[in-house]
Amino acid sequence: MKNRRVIPLLISAAATAAALWAYGTQPRLAVRGQAAVPIADGKTLDFSSGKPVIRDGAADKAALDAAVREIDEASKDVTFPADSGKKK
């Protein structure tokens, strides 16, 4: 009778240990030894070289401003209806 209880307990313990091991060995935020890059307003990130490079040139600022104007123009007429609180 005791063996019938021990076997499922051992299987459960092994599955739990495997899950914890898999979670513990996952890679973290820094990929391949690269450090995280802070986000800064008005600057662009260039990934064309395969690594993140922060750019702050006049051409980058002009492209960023043009993109913001384009987004603002495209979304100026977008509205969202008020939620009436009723489920449909």
For 40-65, how does the pLDDT look when each residue is reduced to its tens digit (9 = 90+)? 777 888 888 888 888 888 988 888 88
CA distance 42 to 65: 9
Domain boundaries, the chain: 37-77
Which pLDDT score, from 0 to 100, does residue 70 have?
96
How remote is the C-alpha of 87 from its chain's centroid?
31
Closest-CA residue to 42 (of 55, 53, 32): 55
Which pLDDT score, from 0 to 100, does residue 85 have?
62
